[in-house]
Amino acid sequence: MTTFFQLLIYGLQLGSVYALLALGYTMVYGIVGMINFAHGDFLMIGALSTVFLAMAFMSTSGTLSALQVIAIILIAMIGTGLVGVIVEAVAYKPLRDRPRMTALITAVGVSMFLQNFPRALPFIGPNPRPFPRLFPLIQYNIGGVTITSTQLIMLFLSLLLMFILYYVVNKTPLGAQMRAVSMDKDAALLMGININVIISMTFFIGAALASSSGIFYASIYPQVDVYMGGWLGTKSFIAAVLGGIGDIRGAMLGGFILGISEIFATSINSNFGYMIGFIVLILILLFKPAGLLGKFSIEKV
Amino acid sequence: MKIPKHLSKSVLPIIGFAAIYGLIMLLKSFGIANNYHIQILMFAGVNIMMTLSLNVVNGFTGQFSIGHAGFMSLGAYGSAIITTLLLKPSVIPSSMQIPVFLLSLFIGGLVAALVGFLIGLPTLKLKGDYLAIVTLAFGEIVRAGLRLIEPIGAARGMIGVPTYANLAWIFTFVALTLFVVRNVIYSRYGRAWIAIRDNEIAAEAMGIDTTRYKIISFTFSAFIAGVAGGLYAHVVSFIQPDTFSFVKSSDLLVFLYAGGSGSLTGSIVGALLLTALPEALRFLASWRLVIYALVLIIVMLYRPKGLTGGYELPFLRIHRKELYEGAADPTVPEAEEGE
């Protein structure tokens, strides 16, 4: 039983990383209708920029105060968000009215660029580097189950971010505009909504969330390299589809389902852990073709 | 003397292929082309076959497979198991090596086709992006599954696959694939696929059993991918599950769409150029993939229909304009004023 709860904690922490990343996929898909394969690389940019920010801060004081950690996280999130906006403006915007496969291939190209550009820079390079400890590490033992303060802070912060996003999308004017654009772009335009700004904002929020998930992921598995976004991105994408792509609650649900099932399956065999997400996905799609919370639209002539 | 048209159309391409092969051999004997160049050409040949296979599903049937490396790995493992484990070169007479090689390719293709059929059966009812995601999942499940099977080397892969495939075999198979794919596209099946691609609902209304034709397209494509995978295994002599990851699938997608989907010439150009480009850029060291990525993004931004833009070489051309993607856009009614 203790093993069960221990695994559940690991599953929740991995699930929160997937959920934060899946949110970006699902928001971009909901609004622009494209699969942004470069989204996972925003996670890498967030984690990598945190490494350098922490180095810069530590070079003056030697240690990091709580305020500095908050500053690092915010700067990394805003910086990555801006990268997302730039990527959209340069690579995706001209393709908005073209066949979606064109945008998908461009996204593959963007992903390659985002991975290999830092790799080619001499001060970053291909080698993995250690991630600084941002959060205090105190172990608590509750009835045989170990939980660390890092895990608690991380879970709390990711739930907080998800709550803020949910609030923004459902209760604010910006969120109303976003939902309007995702429902019908032309009608939204006629209502006086600036579509370009809304799409840029979507990419900003998505990339900033990816950046935070990168920081959280690197806090539990403290190693950062330029390729880390690749497979994490693929799996979060799976999570987004699992929950019903285009639906924010679905992305969160899918992320946690994927994280927990992966941890439990990995405890049996590591390759099986990798497979389980894809198996769960196929099973769910066979019975609910639009994902758990997705709405199935009937094609009209 | 005038050569009859139907004869010239079938004979000239064969002569052309033979001439290109002869030219390469000539360059090699003069020392201009070395084994490294030949190796890249062989990879390009395999990639051309893979891109053609993907083109059948994505370009001509309008479905999205983004996990095609899965079929390639099934073919590679299927044929390598036969030539490396069951009928090793050391236990069969040397005269039997080529028949065994060809048989193994065929079986590799069959394994991939069978799995393609089984995957297609339940999933081709899904539409658009969801199908794409299932194929992605399929590719990764195959890869992770191969990593679990100990007799075929698990994650370490299989070494010592006999290098039966030389450039001549690759040339033959590329030509054969082109011939078969072109003719199938031209046939009743191909026309049904193109109808499904252009407007699935209209195709169904015209009496086309869309699910059936989609499954046929998927199975046919998987077979070609399986054969290409088998050839690949016998070129490199070392195969590993991780070779056939999502990265490989996305490479193939890049070849297809950068070359021009729905065009056989596009598949050849895309696979050939983009296999050679990273090699040609090797002098840039770690900047090579940055440049490659930029080239790709620029091609997609400025030539969204791919490098060939729907152009088809004469001997691959089907003399029906409306069969090319975008040629007949069902949403734009033509010549309305005349009525």
Is pLDDT larger for residue B228 or for residue B163?
B228
For chain A, domains (ranges, CATH) are 2-287 (1.10.3470)
Work out the minimum CA distance from A216 to partner chain B, whole angstroms.
25
Determine the residue among B57, B297, B303, B329 to mutate to test chain A binding: the one whose Cβ has the most chain A Cβ atoms within 10 Å: B297
| pLDDT at residue B126, rounded to an integer | 72
For domain B34-323, the CATH architecture is Orthogonal Bundle (1.10)
Query: Tokens standing for A206?
Result: 């998505």
State whether residue B147 is helix, strand or coil.
coil
| pLDDT at residue B329, rounded to an integer | 44
B304–A301: do the CB atoms touch at under 8 Å? no
pLDDT band at B189 (very low <50, low <70, confident <90, very high): very high
A105–B300: do the CB atoms touch at under 8 Å? yes
According to DSSP, the residues that pair with A130 across neighbouring strands are: A223
**B336 has pLDDT over 70:** no
In 3D space, the residue among B69, B14, B103 whose CA is nearest the CA of residue B255 turns out to be B69
| pLDDT at residue B69, rounded to an integer | 93
Number of DSSP helices (H) and strands (E) in chain A, helices first = 11, 4
A285–B123: do the CB atoms touch at under 8 Å? yes
Ranking A74-88, A104-118, A270-284, B210-224 by mean pLDDT, the lowest is A270-284
According to DSSP, the residues that pair with A142 across neighbouring strands are: A145
A275–B144: do the CB atoms touch at under 8 Å? yes
Q: Is the ipTM of this complex over 0.90?
A: no
B289–A274: do the CB atoms touch at under 8 Å? no
In 3D space, the residue among A255, A261, A221, A263 whose CA is nearest the CA of residue A238 turns out to be A255
In 3D space, the residue among A139, A125, A90, A94 whose CA is nearest the CA of residue A110 turns out to be A90
Summarised one tens digit per residue, pLDDT across range A10-48 is 999 999 999 999 999 999 988 888 888 899 999 999 999
* β-strand pairing of A223-224 with B158-159: unpaired
Ranking A236-240, B33-37, B103-107 by mean pLDDT, the lowest is B33-37
The alpha-helical segments, DSSP class H, found in B30-153 are: 35-54, 69-80, 97-123, 129-146
Identify whether the C-beta of residue A211 lies closer than 8 Å to the C-beta of residue A43. yes
The helix-helix angle for B167-186 and B35-54 (nearest 10°) equals 20
B126–A238: do the CB atoms touch at under 8 Å? no
The structural domains of chain B, with segments of one domain joined by +, span 1-33, 34-323
Identify whether the C-beta of residue B193 lies closer than 8 Å to the C-beta of residue B187. no
Torsion of CA B256, B259, B264, B267, to 10 degrees: -50
In whole angstroms, give the CA distance from residue A248 to residue A19: 10
Determine the residue among A28, A105, A116, A266 to mutate to test chain B binding: the one whose Cβ has the most chain B Cβ atoms within 10 Å: A105
Torsional sign, CA A186, A192, A195, A196:
positive
Contacts of A101 in chain B (CB under 8 A): 58, 64, 257, 261
In whole angstroms, give the CA distance from residue B198 to residue B329: 8
Work out the minimum CA distance from A158 to partner chain B, whole angstroms.
26
Summarised one tens digit per residue, pLDDT across range A180-223 is 998 888 899 999 999 999 999 999 999 999 999 999 999 988 88
The label of the residue with tokens 């003397």 reads: B1
Query: pTM (2 decimals)?
Result: 0.84
Identify whether the C-beta of residue A213 lies closer than 8 Å to the C-beta of residue A159. no
CB pairs under 8 A between A and B: 118
In whole angstroms, give the CA distance from residue A199 to residue A196: 5
